Structure 1
Amino acid sequence: MSTSDTSQNKGLRLSARQGGWDQLGDDSKRVRQKVFIEEQQIPSDEEWDAEDALSEHFLLLLNDRPVATARLTSQGSIGRLAVLKAVRGKGLGKKIMQRVLEHCRRSGLKRVTLNAQISALSFYLKLGFKVAGEEYMEVSIPHLPMEMQLGNDLQQDSEVTEEELLDALENTQQLRIHGHQQLQLCIRVLIQQARRSFALETPAYMDKWFDEAALNPLLALGRRHQHSKVQWLLGETRQFSRQGGALLKLHQRAPSHIEIRQSHPLYRPAQQAFMLIDERHLLWWPHHQELCAELYTAEHREAYRIAQVFKLNWQKSETVKSLQTQSL
């Protein structure tokens, strides 16, 4: 699925896209043609290969004009990073690499590799890559193999207090939340901070994360004003409807304020789950049954991206008929 976001500065509109070769190939080709074939004189038969059709591609556009591209192969190798000469020195290479690395973390990759041209070595070192081999020649240009172990920029698995969580919500950052008690604390604090909206999407509802004390503030949130939203999007609802629990009781008390829907089969998550608070704070599980999640705070761009994904999935979702007929 192709995703995009947009930022504006002094009349310039920078947008980002991600997707397959069939979606982004034409625009990516234009950038790579200028940089690698025309500027660096790399033979065209060396530039285009079978990996393009199998890779995830990333693109930056300035006022809808493609200016930077990169790809990630199925083996976790980043390559074909190119920025048009006219816009170099403006941080676009760093921006697109950050998007690639964020995608790698979301996908659960623990290690990524790349082959860096020697002239770009300092750029990759500043991003956190390390040299992983000897210099070699490729298309008559000296290169060095590099690698990065992912997760080094996250807080380690030390315990986080409620005060530290509240402080974290004031600044844009990324934290790792680990363990049953830490996850419950994080969920409770996030729900208490909700002012406009709460959204959760998961393949299957995990009642152990949401006790009655944590859920109760959502009832007040749903009733706060006409624009308040409390939305639960579940991949599976049959077992949820049968087993009961705190969320089902809450929905029975206020079905018009607490919405529960089932994901459309084509948009149903396989493993990951996420919780969004006011579209500003994101708690993301790589696997919904594991005791480890990542917290993105204070309008982190990942929270913005997931908010757009959730809106689409919610629009495609289905009502749960068995819940519509249930009452206290």
Structure 2
Amino acid sequence: MKTITIVKAAWSEYQQQLTAIRHMVFVNEQKVPEALELDEFDTTATHWLAFHDTEAIGTVRLLDNGTIGRMAVLPPYRRKGVGKALLQHCINEAKDRGIASLHLGAQIHAIEFYQQQGFELIGPRFLDAGIAHQHMRMTLNPMLRRGFTAEINLQANPARAAVDLLKNTRWELRIFSHSLENSLYANEHFLRYAHEFIHRHQGNTIFLMICDEMPLREHHHPLLDMSREWKTAIPIRKLSIGHTFGAKEFFMVGDEDKLITYPHQSAINNAEYCSVESIARDYRESFDRLWRHAKPPLSLKPFY
């Protein structure tokens, strides 16, 4: 077998080859509906192509949030190290960017392959396009990311840190959460400063973006009352399942200069703080991209 080469493939230049491989594997071979195979992430994702001589034989993509997907290798070239080489390029890219962890949905038959590369199982199995999958994760660096700090006061009292961030926000606060975690966003201090914040200047806004509205239906949340009363100042939207997959990190970012992140709703005490403007700006831009795909949570209308 000739040498396999891997190239980073810009969507604008290699779209035809990328889609041809994926169509053969996912649509023709696995019977995935063609409408589900392409999505809005392709234009912004980082893609790689594997070549055997001049023939494109495999591909994979990496999203900005650390999600690996659309791994596809043509049948004659499987079990020859192509998938492993593609995956390693994703891992190297993520390390270079300072991404803390990678996530993917592995088809059940591929679980062992990903485990051999260092991924671990997380959560239950699920169906995607009618095919059984398993969530998997790789922690790239257990140390703090560059520009972040896990201050003792932050991890001992993340609710106080959330209030402090809000108090130091001038114009816009963006909150991306699982379901407006009560310990951060329903305590009296945060609510009091949120009220003061939206009345401080005309146009001040707190954007609320959630992944799951069910906890908010089951238990009253005071931020919903505020959102109902001040819809323009505190808008709320929910991401669809397709967009929440891979969203393993939640955060609040004030303006473009301060940021708090936490890995999931039950790990708030693992929060990290960052005051590097370029990093906070990246999170703000990531939030804004997701916000465009989010919709008002209609099931919460009776509640706010």
Which TM bucket (shorter chain)? Answer: 0.5 to 0.7
Q: Distance in 2 between matches of 1:283 and 1:254?
A: 25
SS at match of 1:217: helix
**Is 1:293 equivalent to 2:256 in the alignment?**
no
Q: Distance in 1 between matches of 2:89 and 2:151?
A: 25
Q: Distance in 2 between matches of 1:209 and 1:76?
A: 37
Contact 2:176/2:251 (<8 A) preserved: yes
Q: Which residue of 1 aligns with 2:68?
A: none
Describe the shift of the 1:100–1:49 C-alpha distance in structure 2 as closer, same or farther (beyond 3 A). farther
Q: Which residue of 2 aligns with 1:227?
A: 203
Determine which of 150, 155, 159 is the counterpart of 1:176.
Answer: 150
CA shift, 1:266, in A, is 2.7
Determine which of 282, 297, 300 is the counterpart of 1:320.
Answer: 297
SS at match of 1:231: strand
5+ residue gaps, structure 2: 1-7, 16-50, 65-84, 104-116, 118-139
Q: Distance in 2 between matches of 1:260 and 1:238?
A: 14
Q: Which residue of 1 aligns with 2:22?
A: none
Determine which of 139, 162, 171 is the counterpart of 1:187.
Answer: 162
Q: Which residue of 2 aligns with 1:309?
A: 286
Q: Distance in 1 between matches of 2:221 and 2:167?
A: 20
**Is 1:206 equivalent to 2:197 in the alignment?**
no
Contact 2:213/2:300 (<8 A) preserved: no
Describe the shift of the 1:263–1:221 C-alpha distance in structure 2 as closer, same or farther (beyond 3 A). same
CA shift, 1:263, in A, is 1.2
CA shift, 1:282, in A, is 1.8
User: What is the letter of the counterpart of residue 187 of structure 1?
Assistant: A
5+ residue gaps, structure 1: 1-19, 28-43, 59-71, 80-96, 114-148, 155-171
Contact 1:203/1:271 (<8 A) preserved: no
Contact 1:190/1:277 (<8 A) preserved: yes
Q: Distance in 2 between matches of 1:153 and 1:249?
A: 36
SS at match of 1:230: strand
Describe the shift of the 1:99–1:304 C-alpha distance in structure 2 as closer, same or farther (beyond 3 A). farther
Contact 1:201/1:234 (<8 A) preserved: yes
Describe the shift of the 1:57–1:255 C-alpha distance in structure 2 as closer, same or farther (beyond 3 A). closer
Describe the shift of the 1:250–1:317 C-alpha distance in structure 2 as closer, same or farther (beyond 3 A). same
Q: Which residue of 1 aligns with 2:25?
A: none
Identical aligned residues as a percent:
15
CA shift, 1:199, in A, is 0.8
CA RMSD, Structure 1 to Structure 2 (Å):
4.0
User: What is the letter of the counterpart of residue 270 of structure 2?
Assistant: C
**Is 1:107 equivalent to 2:85 in the alignment?**
no
Q: For residues 234-260 of structure 1, give each alpha carbon's deviation from its aligned partner in whole angstroms, at most 9, with x where no partner exists.
A: 111132133013323433453442212
Q: For residues 115-143 of structure 1, give each alpha carbon's deviation from its aligned partner in whole angstroms, at most 9, with x where no partner exists.
A: xxxxxxxxxxxxxxxxxxxxxxxxxxxxx
SS at match of 1:318: coil
Q: Which residue of 2 aligns with 1:150?
A: 141
Determine which of 81, 87, 90 is the counterpart of 1:74.
Answer: 87
Q: How does 1:93-172 map to 2 (within 5 A)?
A: 100-103=96-99, 105-107=100-102, 150-152=141-143
How many pairs were matched up? 206
Q: Distance in 1 between matches of 2:142 and 2:181?
A: 25
CA shift, 1:275, in A, is 0.8
Q: How does 1:200-279 map to 2 (within 5 A)?
A: 200-210=175-185, 211-269=187-245, 270-279=247-256
Q: For residues 200-243 of structure 1, give each alpha carbon's deviation from its aligned partner in whole angstroms, at most 9, with x where no partner exists.
A: 11233311223121222122222333432111101111321330
Q: Distance in 2 between matches of 1:98 and 1:264?
A: 25
Q: Which residue of 2 aligns with 1:131?
A: none
Q: Distance in 1 between matches of 2:271 and 2:197?
A: 24
Q: Distance in 2 between matches of 1:196 and 1:99?
A: 33
Describe the shift of the 1:106–1:303 C-alpha distance in structure 2 as closer, same or farther (beyond 3 A). farther
SS at match of 1:261: strand
CA shift, 1:99, in A, is 7.0
CA shift, 1:281, in A, is 1.5
Describe the shift of the 1:281–1:98 C-alpha distance in structure 2 as closer, same or farther (beyond 3 A). farther
SS at match of 1:247: helix
User: What is the letter of the counterpart of residue 176 of structure 1?
Assistant: A
User: What is the letter of the counterpart of residue 53 of structure 1?
Assistant: T
Q: How does 1:77-88 map to 2 (within 5 A)?
A: none
Describe the shift of the 1:46–1:102 C-alpha distance in structure 2 as closer, same or farther (beyond 3 A). farther
CA shift, 1:302, in A, is 2.5
Q: Distance in 2 between matches of 1:315 and 1:55?
A: 22
